[in-house]
Structure 1
């Protein structure tokens, strides 16, 4: 399967975040599942910052897939810089991306991943077109 990488990603948010002691596993590094939590936290903080609050009974974003590539181990007490990007708006979806760096090593990506975001109508339980305001943000 060929993965299409977008030519242009729009940088939309930065978040500084500490590695917590409990994020580590028996191997002494951050457990891989935590990277998805870090990216989720960055994505949700960005969405809230643009007025896209969770709406369990209305319309809003839902993740339909997610991935992460791991390049360097992270450990407590690293301080992280998570940078969120968006790209490829479609009729009902857009792509979100995140890089994870140590603040002490700017520009060195320790992990990178992303997620496809689909806009859904919770009451109808189906995809809905991206609202114009969201399309403008992710374009």
Structure 2
């Protein structure tokens, strides 16, 4: 299965994530639910690097849709290189994308995924236009 990122995208964050022994399931590979955790880790690290703190009385991005495609099995031990991209900013929403590849097999994407995110007032549970300072990071 070939994965293609959107042509108009911006890489916003990159990091390595260890593959832990406890991430594996009885089939001997990383359990499919853990990939969403890996995508969450890089997404939250990117937001933290921007200075965002996610509190229930604040504003920030909220996921409204998420997906993950498994291209190759991943087993312990090792590390994953996670790369996050953003695209298609709207009034309050944008798309986020992520690729995962083993650090010992550069260029071979094992997993791809992403999420549609909406800038939200968490307490009011309503979408808001993205603030200009944040929009600069996703355009």
Determine the C-alpha separation between the residues in 1 that align with 2:138 and 2:25.
35
Determine the C-alpha separation between the residues in 2 that align with 1:87 and 1:21.
34
In the other structure, the counterpart of 2:69 is: 69
Q: Deviations over 1:7-37 (max 9, x none)?
A: 2110111111110011011100001110110
In the other structure, the counterpart of 2:124 is: 124
CA contact (8 A) 1:6 1:88 kept: no
Which consecutive segments of 4 or more residues in structure 1 shift more than 2 A?
A: none
* Structure 2 length-normalised TM: 0.94
Q: Deviations over 1:62-101 (max 9, x none)?
A: 1111001111000110211000000111111111100000
Determine the C-alpha separation between the residues in 1 that align with 2:110 and 2:90.
29
Give the alignment's Cα RMSD to 1 decimal.
Answer: 1.0
In the other structure, the counterpart of 1:106 is: 106
Instruction: State the secondary structure of the residue aligned to 1:51.
Output: coil
Contiguous gaps of at least 5 residues in structure 2? none
Instruction: State the secondary structure of the residue aligned to 2:63.
Output: strand
In the other structure, the counterpart of 1:54 is: 54
Q: Deviations over 1:94-118 (max 9, x none)?
A: 1110000000011100000000111
In the other structure, the counterpart of 1:84 is: 84
- How many residues are treated as equivalent by the alignment? 135
Instruction: State the secondary structure of the residue aligned to 2:116.
Output: strand
Instruction: State the secondary structure of the residue aligned to 2:137.
Output: helix
